[in-house]
Structure 1
Amino acid sequence: MTFDNTLDARTLALDSAHVFHSWSAQGALSPLVIAGGLGSRVWDHAGTTYLDFSSQLVNVNIGHQHPAVVAAITEQAGLLATIGPATANLTRGEAARRIVEHAPDGFEKVFFTNGGADANENAIRLARLHAGRDKIVSTYRSYHGNTGAAIASTGDWRRIPNEYARGHVHVFGPYLYRSEFWATTPEQEAERALHHLERVIQAEGPESIAGVLLETIPGTAGVLVPPPGYLAGVRAICDTYGIVLILDEVMAGFGRTGRWFAFDGYDVTPDLITFAKGVNSGYVPVGGVIISDAIAKQFDDQVFPGGLTYSGHPLAAASIVGALDAMAAEGIVENAARIGRDVLAPALAELAEKHAVIGDVRGEGVFWALELVADAETREPLPAAQMGALKKTMLQAGLLPFVQDNRIHVVPPCVVTDDEVAEAIDIYDRALSTLG
């Protein structure tokens, strides 16, 4: 590779002049320049290299520039770069087949979208049409995307200036470290969160509720691993009241937890599964809804009133085929499970023993969070200024971190090695040591 210092300056100048960034006040931005990447590392035009423990937006599961995925896209571009969704296309069919092979029994159909937000949008549409009801129940600690119904289902601050969609109800999900239910054990947290959910459903009127939409493991909200029995309990409540259960696997799916789907570890089968991110590691924009046979059958004779110009785009489909085949052949999901169990879990626990600022460690696979607190007893979150200083220190040390609120999310690609984890842990350790 050839490096050129002048290209970083040109990149920033063009960005400042012409690119409008998401979730940002534009005037104060100075984004990190990224020119290339390989595996778990990225670099700028000057050759400054970073170990990517953010996986960008927790989506580059297979790592940067995996040759099998690049080759699949290149081959498809030479054969057929685009075709409309009303056609039948071999690559699209092969992508759908590979996806449902990892889904539970009773799921044979995939509706392709352009990303995770419109996957959730269309899952909500399917739930409403199937149930003949309107309301969607989701949690306050969640993120489901920035389109009409998806952002209204989201629980965090981004929902509030964007609430244009109708029929959304929010509840508190389980989060034992900051329990809304005065729980002291995982069992109490699950039981009380389920009671809360059922009471809200009863108060809203079960006959008005089409679906419950949950991230299997809420990601941006803090890698909130559900306590034992919670998701199975949600399934039971949905069954009692005839409600469609949608599990959002956009961030947690396709290897992130060390399983093909996160829900595989929680004794639950949803009615609709949304996906994006890890299915092809974001190499080409794509997402979708995996539809249970019972819901799909309804539309054998009834028109489904939804569609997208780029649904099942051939380049996106090829990237899925390349990614899923490589993940299976190379044991990448198994690597994520091993790294989480044998490397990250003990290393992060050791960090927490050493640094009192770490109030909680939680996660699985390559999907972890360190929650940082100013006071271990009161659990007061570490202030934003200190989180910002930590992020700067980690970047200067050559680590690209995922910092959200008072947390460091430890979310490397599923292909990360033991040595790369050790390198990152050392940087986290040194950065946390600067807090005194």
Structure 2
Amino acid sequence: MTDEDLDTAAKALDREYVFHSWLAQANLDLPVIAGGSGATVWDHAGNRMLDFSSQLVNVNIGHQHPAVVAAIQEQAGILATIGPATANLTRGRAAQRIIDRAPDGFAKVFFTNGGADANENAIRMARLHTGRDTVLSTYRSYHGNTGGAIVATGDWRRMPNQYARGHVHFFGPYLYRSEFWATTPEEESARALHHLERVIVSEGPDTIAAILLESVPGTAGILIPPPGYLAGVRALCDRYGIVLILDEVMAGFGRTGRWFAFQGYDVVPDLITFAKGVNSGYVPVGGVIISDAISATFDERVFPGGLTYSGHPLAAASIIASIDAMQNEGIVDNARRIGDEAIAPALAELAEKHALIGEVRGEGVFWAVEMVADRGTREPVAAAVIGQLKKEMSARGLVPFSADNRIHVVPPCVVTDDEVAQAMAIYDEALTAVEASG
């Protein structure tokens, strides 16, 4: 078969046999990805594309990092799988690497298969630790697609999936579209905290087990917390005896230019959930980093949760290699520098040039470009406009990431200045083409 034949075969097999998430199944025509390296992917025919989606904002270390691939291969030759009710050196070393990056007061990691079940088990731990049931989370959030995690999610995806009990939503800060008539970040923070405390009091503090927040909400719009907000949530949790769970599934392990996003916001949670960037998805894995106080709850009490593949040795090996490579190669520092010196100024220039852009916000390699039909009213563009933009970007050799009326600029943490410049030229051309079409 020729390379073109392989691409054709891949599409035909996909259409016939694969059922895709979050998509209507008829008439799908998805891109073929046959290989990748760093921030670039390609099909069988060799057509190359810059991956400024990091797939699902998870390939933080880039595609096919040789140290991570080698670690998985080596572990497969030693021990390909083992059950969780065993001690395993690779698993222990992976947990140690993660704890080394956590704040003081954390010493245990519970491994899961991904981010959704990490949040699921964090909720379980909080309920058992407090003896309470209710979980508060924001409307603008995404926490995964398992039973409790999807109901904790605030966006439309929870609505066909309301199977879990005890979830209440509130509005988090979002100054560009403030729910609180705020005009400054400080006003937005103070008023959002007042709103949250009113929800806590109205629901009954003694019923609330946890507040679950993404440190920096990702799919909901890369909503950078205003000054004092996360510290204020921490203070409310302390006041009312509520567990604070920070979801670092998307924002963690380099994405914001820090190992954990919350490290930039003067806050320490009680439970930290992670997945995605911890090993860039090379092998499915996630987990919960547990504070000493909550861990002690289960010293003499059985924790009623577990997964067959918890702490899978191939996943553990990939975590060790990823964290070591990110440290040794300065990958987290690169994400911070590239955000400050390359992405931020380039997006600011695009915002000055294109009337479709209402706001740009982000940090590290975690940015959102909010598209509006009118800057004065801030009316979001129609879905068709985002579709057009994605089509124009794809045609020019870029893998885009979109959500609602936004294009998210989320390349791997290893992205270079030249690759950012190339991507920005594509964004510029795509915006120009869409604006010219009316």
DSSP 3-state at the match of 2:392: helix
Q: Within 1, Cα distance between the matches of 2:20 and 2:354?
A: 35
DSSP 3-state at the match of 2:372: strand
Q: Do the aligned residues in 2 keep the contact of 1:5 with 1:45 (CA within 8 Å)?
A: yes
Which residues of 2 match residues 60-209 of structure 1 at below 5 A?
60-209=59-208
In the alignment, what sits opposite 1:249?
Answer: 248
DSSP 3-state at the match of 2:173: coil
In the alignment, what sits opposite 2:357?
Answer: 358
Measured after TM superposition, the shift of residue 162 of structure 1 is: 0.1
Taking structure 1 as reference, are residues 38 and 298 closer, same or farther at Cα in structure 2, changes over 3 Å only?
same
Gaps of 5+ in 2: none
Measured after TM superposition, the shift of residue 28 of structure 1 is: 2.2
How high is the TM-score relative to the length of structure 1?
0.99
Q: Within 2, Cα distance between the matches of 1:28 and 1:116?
A: 30
In the alignment, what sits opposite 2:290?
Answer: 291
AA matched with 1:159:
R
Q: Within 2, Cα distance between the matches of 1:411 and 1:291?
A: 28
Q: Identity over the aligned pairs, expressed in percent?
A: 77
CA deviation vs aligned residue, 1:22-67 (integer Å, no higher than 9, x gap): 0111112111110000000000111111000000000000000000
In the alignment, what sits opposite 1:322?
Answer: 321
Q: Do the aligned residues in 2 keep the contact of 1:143 with 1:220 (CA within 8 Å)?
A: yes
Which residues of 2 match residues 378-393 of structure 1 at below 5 A?
378-393=377-392
In the alignment, what sits opposite 2:20?
Answer: 21
Q: Within 1, Cα distance between the matches of 2:192 and 2:121?
A: 27
Q: Within 2, Cα distance between the matches of 1:186 and 1:367?
A: 19
The number of residues matched between the two structures is 435
In the alignment, what sits opposite 1:278?
Answer: 277
DSSP 3-state at the match of 2:246: strand
DSSP 3-state at the match of 2:102: coil
In the alignment, what sits opposite 2:37?
Answer: 38
CA deviation vs aligned residue, 1:99-155 (integer Å, no higher than 9, x gap): 010000000000000000000000000000001000000000000000000000000
Q: Within 1, Cα distance between the matches of 2:422 and 2:179?
A: 37
CA deviation vs aligned residue, 1:368-397 (integer Å, no higher than 9, x gap): 000010000000111111110110000000
Q: Within 1, Cα distance between the matches of 2:345 and 2:16?
A: 46
Q: Within 1, Cα distance between the matches of 2:257 and 2:355?
A: 28
CA deviation vs aligned residue, 1:166-207 (integer Å, no higher than 9, x gap): 000000000000000010000000000000000001000000
Q: Within 1, Cα distance between the matches of 2:95 and 2:2?
A: 40
2:399 corresponds to 1:400: yes
In the alignment, what sits opposite 1:55?
Answer: 54
How high is the TM-score relative to the length of structure 2?
0.99
AA matched with 1:331:
G
AA matched with 1:432:
L
Gaps of 5+ in 1: none
2:376 corresponds to 1:343: no
In the alignment, what sits opposite 1:240?
Answer: 239
In the alignment, what sits opposite 2:332?
Answer: 333
Q: Do the aligned residues in 2 keep the contact of 1:152 with 1:163 (CA within 8 Å)?
A: yes
Q: Do the aligned residues in 2 keep the contact of 1:3 with 1:47 (CA within 8 Å)?
A: no
Which residues of 2 match residues 365-376 of structure 1 at below 5 A?
365-376=364-375
Q: Within 1, Cα distance between the matches of 2:322 and 2:119?
A: 22
Q: Within 2, Cα distance between the matches of 1:3 and 1:197?
A: 59
AA matched with 1:408:
I
CA deviation vs aligned residue, 1:209-268 (integer Å, no higher than 9, x gap): 000000000000000001010000000000000000000000000000000000000000
DSSP 3-state at the match of 1:28: coil
- RMSD over aligned CA atoms reads 0.8
DSSP 3-state at the match of 2:254: coil
Runs of 4+ in 1 over 6 A off after TM superposition: none
Q: Within 2, Cα distance between the matches of 1:187 and 1:28?
A: 48
Q: Within 2, Cα distance between the matches of 1:134 and 1:19?
A: 38
In the alignment, what sits opposite 1:303?
Answer: 302
Q: Do the aligned residues in 2 keep the contact of 1:231 with 1:268 (CA within 8 Å)?
A: yes
AA matched with 1:287:
G
Q: Within 2, Cα distance between the matches of 1:398 and 1:186?
A: 37
Q: Do the aligned residues in 2 keep the contact of 1:277 with 1:287 (CA within 8 Å)?
A: yes
DSSP 3-state at the match of 2:367: strand
Q: Within 2, Cα distance between the matches of 1:293 and 1:240?
A: 19
CA deviation vs aligned residue, 1:323-366 (integer Å, no higher than 9, x gap): 00000000000000000111111111111011111100000000
Taking structure 1 as reference, are residues 251 and 3 closer, same or farther at Cα in structure 2, changes over 3 Å only?
farther
DSSP 3-state at the match of 1:69: helix
Q: Within 1, Cα distance between the matches of 2:386 and 2:116?
A: 28
Taking structure 1 as reference, are residues 207 and 355 closer, same or farther at Cα in structure 2, changes over 3 Å only?
same
Measured after TM superposition, the shift of residue 3 of structure 1 is: 6.9
